A and B are shown apart, each in its own frame.
Chain A
């Protein structure tokens, strides 16, 4: 009865949501931030380790929330590896557009693995689940410590 929901809960989302590959706290990190969605109680924390040139060498996260938010966090970790703060912000802007509209025009290579999240735009109340980990990551890069998806 829910077959049409497989666009959202596709194999990638289910797999990454259930068995995230990067859901771990970094013991050695340079920046961290928490993200809260106060409306629904979802919460993520992101840890970042920089390389010598200031780009992202490693990211880990802990998430308390639904499959969408965990899968989004897990895929994000891979997308931002090796990126500077500036290019991470650019990726986030493109990802946000993807989550809100389903579109990824001139889609960056790094974002293509996130296309399985495109269907979230059809579920407006769930878009924030997908963007919350990104908000936390950006807050960490900016040294803010905490943010919300509001």
Chain B
């Protein structure tokens, strides 16, 4: 086996030192955290930003006339600029704050789906979506009479582009909602082609960037994406805050989906008028502290830079694929050419949950189950997999610990 070349630009020890949690011992062993795709750990910068906001400049935002409220509003709104920069959005008003990816997708399903799409039109998803990008479209179908179409994948776990394109033949597709990177297989989808094809047929595209934005630079303008969602907690930020990017003219045309404070321009009992975008979609007091934490997370990721992150994770993934594939009885699920730092696998002698319980005893955290993607599991003919996923702080040594331990797991179940 060739020694993998880990990116010299990343000082992993220095990065790890910024994550207080990585000092924790699990049952007396060093924590080997290989579950970042479910939620990533938080660097000191994020923790400090959140604590600092609560200790020095906290008040409700967008409505106070006092110093504290103004400072807090500024800090919270700075996150909108950071998110616009991260995604290369042209206009900060195109950034809508939501609780997480799930809420962003539901917002589009409600507002664009019911408000703009017509019954009889179709929504296209792929065969490797997270439940959060399946169920909202089923609900739209049942409530609004749209159709739900599923673009198939091949056995390697890549989108079947010919079959995808064929779904547009009858001209009914109004919206495509597809993952930018699979949380189970690690596959990236060819977002640019997906969007070109959809646009050529007059359909809009929502990309679920929950996984992709963690690993790769995303440029919504270069992609020409109509909507893009991500969730803060996977990007080393807090839970409770996520981002929906939407092209301004689409957001302007869409009706609000939740009513309340902050989203109105004026209210009388007869009628209310809506605030301008993005506030039209941000009813109620938002996750203020979490929003401020997300800004710190984005700045932290930008400080390291996507080229270094992507190079580090590509090397880790190569290393993991070669170490894991060498284990007898282990099958790696998903062999996409273009993939990120997520590796799912099964072991001939043990169910995924039993694997996870044993790994946990060795201080190794992985995810086991259907990964909120039951239809994908069904497509793969599996009931569950174990999944190791990597973050900036993951080391090749941790992958070796995983591989060595898996060999012992298999011996245990012989």
Contact = CB atoms under 8 A, between A and B. Distances in A.
Given A65-B353, A66-B351, A67-B354, A41 B412 contact: no
A126 B353 contact: yes
A65 B353 CA distance: 8
B361 A5 contact: yes
Contact of A129 (B350, B353, B405, B408): B353
Nearest to B404: A1
Interface string A109-150: 000000000000001011001000000000000000000000
B357 A41 contact: no
B372 to A, nearest CB: 10
B403 interface: no
Contacts of A129: 353
Interface string B360-386: 011000001110001001000001100
B408 A65 contact: no
A137 B189 CA distance: 43
Contacts of A125: 357
Nearest to B370: A41
A9 B384 contact: no
A68 interface: yes
B358 interface: yes
A105 interface: no
A2 B369 contact: no
Contacts of B358: 2, 5
B354 A41 contact: no
B138 to A, nearest CB: 16
Contacts of B127: none
Interface in B340-363: 350-354, 357-358, 361-362
A42 B351 CA distance: 11
Nearest to A65: B351
Contact of B384 (A1, A2, A41, A123): A41
Interface string A15-56: 000000000000000000000000111110000000000000
A64 interface: yes
A57 to B, nearest CB: 30
Contacts of A106: none
B177 interface: no
Interface class of chain B by DSSP: helix
Contact of A4 (B361, B368, B370): B361
Contacts of B408: 1-2
A66 B354 contact: yes
A1 B27 CA distance: 13
A6 to B, nearest CB: 9
A40 B386 CA distance: 11
Nearest to A40: B369
A120 B92 CA distance: 51
A81 interface: no
Nearest to A2: B412
Interface string A84-128: 000000000000000000000000000000000000000101100
A123 B357 contact: yes
B357 A40 contact: no
B409 interface: yes
Contacts of B412: 2, 5, 9
Nearest to A129: B353
Nearest to B373: A41
B354 A9 contact: yes
Interface in B80-100: none
A142 B350 CA distance: 34
A66 B413 CA distance: 12
Contacts of A43: 383
B364 to A, nearest CB: 12
A43 B378 CA distance: 13
B374 A41 contact: yes
B361 A40 contact: no
A13 to B, nearest CB: 10
A93 B269 CA distance: 54
Contacts of A42: 353
Nearest to B362: A1
Contacts of B383: 41, 43, 64-65
5 contacts: A2-B361, A2-B412, A4-B361, A66-B354, A67-B354
10 interchain residue pairs of minimum CB distance: A41-B370, A66-B351, A66-B353, A40-B369, A2-B412, A64-B383, A66-B354, A41-B369, A41-B384, A1-B408
